[in-house]
Structure 1
Amino acid sequence: MSVTLSLIAANVLVTLVTLYAAPKLFEKFMMIPYRVIRENSWYELISSGFVHAGLGHLFLNMFVLFFFGLVLERSIGQEHFIGLYFTGLIVSSLPSLYKHKDNPEFATVGASGAVESVLFGFIMLFPLDPIYIMFIPIGIPAIIFGILFLVYSVYASKKEGKINHEAHIAGAIWGFLYLIIFVPNTIDHFLSVFGLI
């Protein structure tokens, strides 16, 4: 079984259990930076990525993971894919951990940061492949989609809201960096796509 499908199954199972069968686990698994720092509950940087605020939140993350994860997993191998996903969970949690370390009211959940790492890992390898967005009939080159997504996320992060845009930004940047640092020939491949080498 692919790592992507295993991660999707784990996310679905943990989310459904914590939402409907064991709500106390939901509270235990979410990341509360105030608690992480004071109680050394560092596992929350990982566990929070397997619980979601609702079925819509879960579906959106797993939808993106399914379509981009399967391709990226085949391209970089299962070991690198596991490394990317779990380091993506951790790295994408760091901005919130720092920003909200003194705010006992802040909590965050969801696999979005790791999913953005996967999406942007895909963009790094397939920058000219079209990405389709609902209700837009033409594909947007992946690299253009990535730039627009980051610009929007930076803009949206300036406003208060329930979406953790800082995690999206950090996860996206880490998707690029992980491939550049750990996956051989990534930069050469990226440049060759544009005919630069």
Structure 2
Amino acid sequence: MRDVQSFQHRRTSSMDTAIFTYGTIAVTAIISIMAFRIPSMAEDNIFSTYYILEKHEYFRMISSMFLHADWGHLLLNMFSFYSFSLSIEMVYGFKTAALIYLVSGLGGGLLSLILNRKNMQYRALGASGAVSGIIFSSVFLIPGGSVLVFPLPIPIPSWAFAMLFVLTSIYGLGRMSDNIGHDAHLGGALTGILLCVLLYPDIISRQYILLAGIVTPTILFFLLKDKIEKIIRR
């Protein structure tokens, strides 16, 4: 969870409300729970390379963000979303938080689509890409915070969490042996960063070291993807 002390001095009129954050949690929970009970609902809205690329059902890029595999998946994503989105909405307002969340979700889905375009059996669901975008936007827009990462007993600086997150995602992409959407995580995170830079260009001069630390290994991974995957899978 973020250390809110780092942004208390930047409160805006939105401090008393967090409509987007609470509304998104409510809508996502309702849709996910409905899909738990009605499997066909999940089937008709899940992220699927086949249905998106072959049937042109592009709505699945959005609809899959509101579906989750189980209660654990739903609770983890929504808790993470709440912990970071609340601060963004308090400081930067409803529109910024909503834009980052939705566009990051699309960015995560797009990277998943690109990396899995030859696999027509690929399917995914969850708000992980959107949540990753919110997390990274919070790291850049509200610096100086800390993140509590289970099972570590003490919080770690948000910049360290960002670096660890990216490296873990890259490693996961290289292995491709678990059931975690590392591609969506990374795509959402990078989209969130890009939006921050576009909306607030001064971030480049203020946090260029962190930007370089995140972007450089990501670029190297995609340039040397085949070689890195062989090394990781040994």
Report the CA distance between 1:190 and its aligned residue: 4.5
* Counterparts of residues 75-114 of structure 1 (less than 5 Å): 75-114=91-130
Say what the alpha-carbon RMSD is for the aligned residues: 1.6
- The answer for the alignment partner of 2:218 in structure 1 is none
Cα gap change, 1:89/1:78 in structure 2, threshold over 3 Å: closer, same or farther?
Answer: same
Give me the whole-angstrom Cα distance separating, in 1, the residues matched to 2:77 and 2:59: 21
8 Å contact from structure 1 (residues 154, 165) kept in 2: yes
TM-score by length of 2: 0.77
CA contact (8 A) 1:33 1:98 kept: no
Which residue does the alignment assign to 2:20? 3
SS in 2 for 1:147: helix
Q: CA deviation at 1:188?
A: 5.6
Q: Distance in 1 between matches of 2:132 and 2:23?
A: 18
Q: C-alpha distance in 2, partners of 1:99/1:171?
A: 14
Q: Which residues in structure 2 correspond to 1:1-197 (within 5 Å)? A: 2-20=19-37, 22-159=38-175, 160-183=177-200, 185-187=202-204, 190=207
Deviation at 1:2, TM superposition (A): 1.4
Q: Distance in 1 between matches of 2:107 and 2:200?
A: 18
- The alpha-carbon distance between structure 1 residues 82 and 46, as it changes in their structure 2 partners (threshold 3 A), is same
Paired amino acid for 2:79: F
Contact 2:100 2:133 in 1 (8 A): yes
| TM-score (structure 1 length as normaliser) | 0.91
Do the aligned residues in 2 keep the contact of 1:72 with 1:81 (CA within 8 Å)?
A: yes
Runs of 5+ consecutive residues of structure 1 not aligned to the other structure: 192-197
Distance 1:168 1:122 in 2: 15
Deviation at 1:79, TM superposition (A): 0.8
1:174 Cα shift? 1.3
* Structure 2: runs of 5 or more not aligned: 1-17, 209-234
Q: For residues 21-66 of structure 1, give each alpha carbon's deviation from its aligned partner in whole angstroms, at most 9, with x where no partner exists.
A: x211100110101210111100000000000011000010000011
Deviation at 1:185, TM superposition (A): 4.3
Aligned residues between the structures: 190
1:70 positional shift: 0.5
1:195 aligns with: none
Partner Cα distance (1:190, 1:154) in 2: 22
Letter in structure 2 aligned against 1:15: S
**8 Å Cα contact 1:18-1:26 kept in structure 2:** yes
Identity level (%): 29
TM-aligned CA deviation for residue 133 of structure 1: 1.6
Q: Provide the residue aligned with 1:194 in structure 2.
A: none
